[in-house]
Amino acid sequence: MNSGASIGIDVGGTKCLGVILEGDHVVTEVRRPTPASPVAIIDTLEEIVHELGDLPTVGVGVPGLVTRQGVIRASPNLTAVADFDVAGMLAARLGHSVVVDNDATCAAVAEWRAGAARGHRDAVVVTLGTGIGGGLIVDDRVVRGTNGFAGEVGHMVIDPNGPVCPCGRRGCWERFASGSALGAMARAVVRAGGLSAITTLVDDGSDVRGEQVCELAARGDVEALDVVNEFAYWVALGLVSLTNMTDPSCIVIGGGLAASGDVFMDPVRHHFARLLYSPNLRPHPRLEIARFGELAGAVGAASLATLSRSA
Ligand SMILES: [Zn+2]
């Protein structure tokens, strides 16, 4: 019997997902819609903890800039939220402390402790979704930075004249290398008269998403392979910069596109090996697909809670 069971909850834009983690295994899952107001979010978190059996070790992953004290300073998806003390408010309800961290940091912890980067002391985890979430593991620790805001890798500017980002600047990496960026790239090709076979997957080519481009590429469609190849270049470009910063032995890529497998990962590996600084004079980090899909945030939150309890 594993006495180290813990609760992890991921607060997403539309749903809250709670798990019980025993060792490396998720034994129970609970889902609830994410309400709009901070108080209602705390109500929902409290209900999930009760439903999962009131274990004393609780971690929560939330989107946005999260301080080391578990306060959300700003969040793109929780619009009514600023200076939201999730850790303090939930602890007051439960009668014990809880760990609250950025959801992408939590996802990175999941892959590092129990997933594709397990056993690596230095790892980079990126999740390619609507934006790009990231987490950096350096010397067997999660990098948090002065305020807790480290790992916002999606907002590395790679083209100051590039498209506008929701963060207010231009040319952030996530405008080129997120799942939604691939969709936008494909729609531009469709508008220019290309990617003709996409009509076998969607009624209207102007609705095409990144996953569908990968699906078409997996069937060997030459135009789709070209789009994926160009997209993979931008993904690799950012990964090379992260490698220059932290020199990881493993890079884990998560999000819906990574589930496409080799048709996406092979061109990323190709461009990465080409763009890497002194590629012939160094061991290359492994590029891996994330083990945990949508559960990554909740699993990592539970792991972080366990880690802080044993620290
Ligand atoms: Zn940005």
- Structural domains of the chain, count: 2
Q: 193 in the Ramachandran plot: left (φ > 0), alpha (ψ -120 to 50) or beta?
A: left
Which class for 137: exposed (0-12), middle (13-18), buried (19 or more C-beta within 10 A)?
Answer: buried
Average of per-residue pLDDT values in the chain: 93
**Dist. CA 7 → ligand 1 center (Å):** 32
**Dist. CA 298 → ligand 1 center (Å):** 25
CATH number where 66 lies: 3.30.420.40
Low-confidence winner among 18-27, 66-75, 137-146, 216-225 (lowest mean pLDDT): 66-75
- Could you tell me the CA-to-CA distances from 152 to 14, 30, 125, 126 in Å, in that order? 21, 28, 11, 10
Q: Is position 160 within any domain? A: yes
CB 251 within 8 A of CB 286: yes
Q: Are residues 149 and 80 in the same domain?
A: no
Q: Are residues 175 and 241 in the same domain?
A: yes
Ion ligand 1 residue ranges (Cβ < 5 Å): 155, 165, 167, 172
Q: Are residues 146 and 97 in the same domain?
A: no
Q: Are residues 142 and 220 in the same domain?
A: yes
Reported as a single tens digit per residue, the pLDDT across 169-213 is 999 999 999 999 999 999 999 999 999 888 888 888 788 998 899
In angstroms, the CA 188 to CA 235 distance is 18
**Does 77 have pLDDT greater than 90?**
no
Q: Is position 1 within any domain? A: no
**Dist. CA 155 → ligand 1 center (Å):** 4
pLDDT of residue 201: 86
Q: Are residues 130 and 148 in the same domain?
A: yes
Per-range mean pLDDT, top range of 18-22, 149-153, 199-203, 277-281? 18-22
Q: Are residues 136 and 152 in the same domain?
A: yes
**Dist. CA 311 → ligand 1 center (Å):** 34
In angstroms, the CA 289 to CA 186 distance is 23
Q: Are residues 20 and 131 in the same domain?
A: no
Q: Are residues 186 and 277 in the same domain?
A: yes
Q: Is position 166 within any domain? A: yes
Average pLDDT for residues 26-30, to the nearest whole number?
Answer: 96
Q: Which domain holds residue 31?
A: 6-108+295-310
Q: Is position 263 within any domain? A: yes
Q: Is position 53 within any domain? A: yes
Average pLDDT for residues 227-234, to the nearest whole number?
Answer: 97
Q: Is position 104 within any domain? A: yes
pLDDT of residue 1: 36
DSSP SS3 for 114: helix
**Does 2 have pLDDT greater than 50?**
no
CB 169 within 8 A of CB 154: no
| Count of positions (residues) in the chain | 311
pLDDT of residue 302: 97
CB 80 within 8 A of CB 39: no
**Dist. CA 149 → ligand 1 center (Å):** 14
Q: Are residues 39 and 168 in the same domain?
A: no
From the list 49, 63, 52, the residue with the least C-alpha distance to 10 is 63
CA pseudo-torsion sign 153, 154, 160, 165 = negative
211 vs 233, which has greater pLDDT? 233
Q: Is position 113 within any domain? A: no
**Dist. CA 176 → ligand 1 center (Å):** 11
Q: Are residues 256 and 142 in the same domain?
A: yes
**Dist. CA 158 → ligand 1 center (Å):** 10
In angstroms, the CA 139 to CA 149 distance is 18
Q: Are residues 128 and 89 in the same domain?
A: no
Average pLDDT for residues 49-59, to the nearest whole number?
Answer: 97
Q: Are residues 93 and 220 in the same domain?
A: no
Average pLDDT for residues 251-263, to the nearest whole number?
Answer: 90
Q: Is position 241 within any domain? A: yes
What share of the chain in percent tops pLDDT 70?
98
